[in-house]
A and B are shown apart, each in its own frame.
Chain A
């Protein structure tokens, strides 16, 4: 592998690291506008992160070394998913057969340690959040394999880069794939990044929340790692979603680039709109919602198996 390819692979990595807080700022700004407020500036997440990195870290008296290492492991695992994820037509730093599995399981590793870090406090708040996170993850993982996995089975590739590059525009079924995958991809994003119909990212003092209640006792650099990690995760899933529109960039690089930007922007708008319009679901009905996403994910393959 020569140097220019590696540098090209590092480019998306650095880009996502830099841009991901902006994406969250964008969502929050649009949400504020939709609810008739001026809202915090788009750069607010950067200020938050800078503030958190300066603050002192407070550990609960009941906390052990797990609380100290969990944010680090969780953050590192998320960071490494970036090295596998392609942005559009840019080849990621690491692309090999089967990296789709490594991608899914690295996110699993991040989740494992985030749950342990939350349970380390021994408080019911964190316990409740962690239990819910574990439950919904059980249903979210099938969605990942039903969307990207079904594309993998259709195309016969097992590397995320190759899978995206196998989507062709000239087949009519490709359009259906894009639509179906976008829907279940969106539901996956909402679940994994704890956005609205599943979880409310704003009210972390309620017992009804998931992600925010897990990081209740984290502060300073630990909170920095968790928050930054969650921003990156939103960006990862946004790119994941936008890459379904990869065929456009194969037709024309600049067209593809603008489609990419537009899709990500639209995604933030949709997230903001959903968060404004819909209240959070009852905890009991969330598994049904996730199973719905699974069911439409299976459509992909049914179309492939029976239409062609």
Chain B
């Protein structure tokens, strides 16, 4: 079966080569999409086949034991491979129609295709890596290739700025990971993940290693307050890449945190509690910031932060379970987190690819300029709506099911631990419910402002290609399938979670809820809704008339409720926390003058933490500015002094 994966990876590489070699750019694009989707299908099949037959540990390269030991095909790796491939296939399918608008810039498109395929490849190999150096190589490759992918329209200044923020931040994350892995190596004397061991008895090293590892992975995952790069990078990335960035690349941070939990044993209590706190914070403020955005891709980026927070809450619960070795809690927490990671990859891809379709038609990302799309593309809006209901965590779609597991984890841990736990878990529950309410407000906002009502700026036609419908439809189908019948994925998730469960009492998911009841209810709801809709459509007594306007007939599309006014009620409550600034100019004379309203949503992490830290560092660096000379001899002197310093230290080290 390993041959499937090798074929898949080779096809991805061949696709990259063909994208460069085939002369007509149109043809190259088509071949690329065809070859890459075939390759990804192979890898998807590989992940599925191996996930079903867990816990078998096959070798990736039979006959090459050393090479094979660099890769590990355990449940966690395969589950993330499943996530990557199932999010990558729709993204690749959408590439065709999205890049059609850039075909006049053939070289840039070819460069994008090559870097995109390398991103796909390195991400898949990254989660399979078992060797720290191999992991870091693929991590770096993924980061750099994603950076090159961001530069599709590199002449635009906002893209240069956003991609540089991405570049700098993710390299800081890589720097932290280097320290993390070197410390792990010094502890265990091995580079293999399967040998890594980090115990609290090692004293300071444990804390330092944990700190750097967590910061490195949290920057990638986008936990608050490490999230500041995300809105910049996602909003400027070509949409197919931002879909992949949000669905998969930030999930490699989650993957890393899962691996860290595996290395750290026993797991102290503060890790679980800390992760819970930082995750709840990310979830609440991620969605609250999202509510204030007008840029659809920036908004979706903040929603990624929210969902990373929800995943983190699951991980935190699982950590508590691991600390006290309570099997049901491990299952509910980590299982919920894994399931939500998968679900988020699916519906976030759906939403990002949908926003790409909108961008290629309307050439704007500002939702205040959209509206009325539902009339020209009702099926497209329906698919986007499925993604929105799913991300809001509403039944009967998949987002609900994973949040359901996490909620069950709260109740479970409260009843197991007793003491003060019910109180804290109630606060977590209410926090998650609050996040759900805010997400509902946010997604009703973007759906109604973007799609409903009348067109705010006229668009002639709205075209959605067949391939777009295919990729969005596939994702929507998965949302529906795993919402109504989650049992099919909960089985594999159980075997993945078993890695973290000690002892033989590995739980099966069927003990936690009467899943068939839930499936029955959700199927019945969908049945009832469809029946009622068919019945209602078949009714004859209906007609059309103008909307109610208190007798005023001259309504224009500019009189509609805007996104800012929709969100103003909620955002007004937390203006100072959210760094919302607005400038209003109201005419104060008798005769009408021009009036203005301008609002801007900042970010506390960027404005309050990163920028001051950056300017502090710049200030410190400029204080040694007197050393910079124009004469090259000074530099030679500096070099000699440095060599002398290191050499002297080495001599002293050896002889003293």
Binding site for B on A (CB under 8 A): 55-66, 68-69, 72-73, 75-77, 79-80, 83, 94, 96-98, 101-102, 104-106, 108-109, 111-112, 115-116, 119-128, 130-132, 134-135, 137-142, 144-146, 149-150, 152-154, 156, 158, 205, 216-217, 220-221, 283, 287, 294, 298, 301-302, 304-305
Contact = CB atoms under 8 A, between A and B. Distances in A.
Interface in B368-409: 371-372, 374-375, 378, 381-382, 385, 389, 392-395, 400, 403-404, 407-408
Contacts of B407: 98, 101
Interface stretch (B190-198, B266-274, B534-542): B534-542
A126 B415 CA distance: 44
Given A68-B536, A154-B422, A156-B415, A121 B453 contact: yes
A124 B561 CA distance: 5
Given A57-B542, A302-B423, A141 B434 contact: yes
Interface string B527-547: 011001100110101111111
B107 interface: no
B361 interface: no
22 contacts: A63-B547, A68-B537, A72-B529, A79-B528, A97-B408, A98-B404, A98-B407, A98-B513, A102-B404, A108-B393, A108-B394, A112-B394, A112-B440, A112-B444, A119-B447, A119-B561, A122-B372, A134-B445, A138-B437, A145-B430, A302-B423, A304-B422
B445 A59 contact: no
A116 B448 contact: yes
Given A120-B448, A123-B555, A131-B565, A105 B436 contact: yes
Contacts of A132: 569
Interface in B436-451: 436-438, 440-441, 443-445, 447-449, 451
Nearest to A67: B452
B560 interface: yes
Interface string B339-359: 000000000000000000000
A98 B408 contact: yes
Given A130-B566, A134-B444, A97 B547 contact: no
A66 B539 CA distance: 17
A301 B565 contact: no
Given A109-B394, A134-B444, A150-B426, A60 B420 contact: no
Given A138-B434, A153-B426, A64 B378 contact: yes
B575 interface: no
Interface string B463-502: 0000000000000000000000000000000000000000
Contacts of A56: 541-543
Given A104-B433, A145-B433, A158-B411, A127 B374 contact: no
B394 A123 contact: no
State the 8 A-B residue pairs at the shortest beta-carbon distance, nearest first: A127-B561, A122-B453, A119-B448, A60-B547, A156-B415, A138-B437, A56-B541, A134-B441
B137 interface: no
A259 B121 CA distance: 67
Contact of B536 (A62, A64, A72, A138): A72
Contacts of A135: 441, 569-570
B568 interface: yes
A252 to B, nearest CB: 30
Contacts of A140: 437
A216 B546 CA distance: 12
B203 interface: no
Interface of B: 371-372, 374-375, 378, 381-382, 385, 389, 392-395, 400, 403-404, 407-408, 411, 414-415, 420, 422-423, 425-426, 429-430, 433-434, 436-438, 440-441, 443-445, 447-449, 451-454, 512-514, 517-518, 520-521, 524-525, 528-529, 532-533, 536-537, 539, 541-550, 555, 557, 559-561, 565-570, 573
Contacts of A128: 561
A104 to B, nearest CB: 7
A61 B518 contact: no
A65 B548 contact: no
Contacts of A122: 371-372, 452-454, 547, 557, 560
Given A134-B445, A156-B415, A108 B436 contact: yes
Given A58-B545, A105-B394, A108-B394, 17 more contacts: A63-B544, A64-B452, A98-B404, A108-B437, A112-B389, A119-B561, A120-B452, A135-B441, A138-B437, A149-B426, A150-B422, A150-B426, A153-B411, A153-B426, A156-B411, A216-B548, A298-B426
A154 B423 CA distance: 9
Contacts of A57: 539, 541-543
B408 A158 contact: yes
A20 B445 CA distance: 32
Contacts of A116: 385, 444, 447-448, 452
A138 B541 contact: no
A125 B561 CA distance: 8
A138 B291 CA distance: 12
Contacts of B568: 131
B547 A66 contact: no
Given A79-B528, A124-B561, A108 B546 contact: no
B425 A137 contact: no
Name the residue in B433, B525, B532, B550 with the highest tally of chain A Cβ atoms < 10 Å from its Cβ: B433
Contacts of A298: 426
Nearest to B374: A64
A306 to B, nearest CB: 9
B380 to A, nearest CB: 12
**Which interface residue of B420, B426, B443, B447 has the most chain A CB atoms within 10 A?**
B426
B426 A115 contact: no
Interface SS, A side: helix
B448 A130 contact: yes
Contact of A108 (B392, B539, B560): B392
A94 B517 contact: yes
B440 A134 contact: yes
B549 A123 contact: yes
A156 B414 contact: yes
B334 to A, nearest CB: 18
B543 A58 contact: yes
B545 A60 contact: yes
Given A123-B547, A138-B434, A138-B438, A58 B542 contact: yes
B441 A138 contact: yes
B480 to A, nearest CB: 14
A305 B420 contact: yes
A294 to B, nearest CB: 8
Contacts of A205: 550
A138 B539 contact: no
Given A122-B557, A305-B420, A130 B408 contact: no
A305 B544 contact: no
Given A131-B566, A145-B430, A156-B415, A105 B437 contact: no
A111 B393 CA distance: 13
A59 B452 contact: no
Contact of B389 (A65, A66, A109): A109
Contacts of A96: 513-514, 517-518
A150 B422 CA distance: 8
B543 A65 contact: no
Contacts of B378: 64-65
A213 to B, nearest CB: 10
A77 B400 CA distance: 14
Q: Which of B385, B512, B561 has the most CB of A within 10 A?
A: B561
B533 A146 contact: no
A155 to B, nearest CB: 9
B186 to A, nearest CB: 44
A302 B424 CA distance: 11
B426 A146 contact: yes
A119 B453 contact: yes
A94 B422 contact: no
B395 A105 contact: yes
A111 B573 CA distance: 21
B394 A130 contact: no
A305 B421 CA distance: 9
